[in-house]
Amino acid sequence: MNTLGIIDYGAGNLSSVCNSFRAIGVEGRLVRTEADLEGLTHLVLPGVGAFGDCSRALHNQGLTTAIRSWIAEDKPFLGICIGYQILFESSEESPGAPGLAILKGHVRRFAESELKIPHMGWNNVYPVNPQDPIWEGMGSEPHFYYVHSYYPEPENKELIAATSKYGADFAAAIRQGNLIATQFHPEKSQLLGLQLLRNFMSLS
């Protein structure tokens, strides 16, 4: 039986994430320390707030090494927004603050243009491999909800599972084994977001 943990670092969008999983019949358990990971099969790192704040909180709660170990063991992990960005080495948002450095690459700010920053609202997502089970039941160009000013640039482009466009193309999602991470918010994306959460919970 799958058991879900949702990391609480003091700034995540916890209520929306918990409610979304509850809507698909999954009751998540909050994770605040490494000991809270005991017995879990699936782990989510939601994201609201700044890169540096997330980095400090995870370190202070003793979760940095635990998350690295979880992902190294290829256990199902879903990072959302900041929970996606923190997987990389650094961010222009918080110079000097270390990411988890699980993936090589850096988080960039959208270039100044006629487009409003932050990128906020619904946008198309273009799966690189629509046959990937993580996109099952979503069609070829699903819509998801975004709120962000920064986005990761993975060094390894083969990690990119989906792209989106806001002025320029950017990596909307990555996948490495059972590691899934998205810049968009599934918990704010209605039916398609719930479908992605179901697909995540089906990973083993």
* Cβ atoms of 43 and 12 closer than 8 Å: no
**What would the pLDDT profile of 82-139 be if each residue is shown by its tens digit?**
999 999 999 999 999 999 999 999 999 998 888 899 999 999 999 999 999 999 999 8
Asked if 54 is an active-site residue, the reply is no
Give the active site residue among 18, 42, 81, 148.
81
pLDDT value, residue 96: 93
Asked if 185 is an active-site residue, the reply is yes
**Residues in Cβ contact with 168 at an 8 Å cutoff, skipping those fewer than 6 apart:** 111
Task: Return left, alpha or beta for 25; rule: phi > 0 is left, psi -120 to 50 is alpha, else beta.
Answer: left
* Cβ atoms of 120 and 150 closer than 8 Å: no
Q: Residue 43 and residue 20: Cα distance in Å, rounded?
A: 15
**What would the pLDDT profile of 26-62 be if each residue is shown by its tens digit?**
999 999 999 999 999 999 999 888 999 999 999 999 9
pTM equals 0.96
Asked if 106 is an active-site residue, the reply is no
Write down all domains in the chain, each with its CATH number in brackets. 4-201 (3.40.50.880)
Give the active site residue among 42, 119, 148, 185.
185
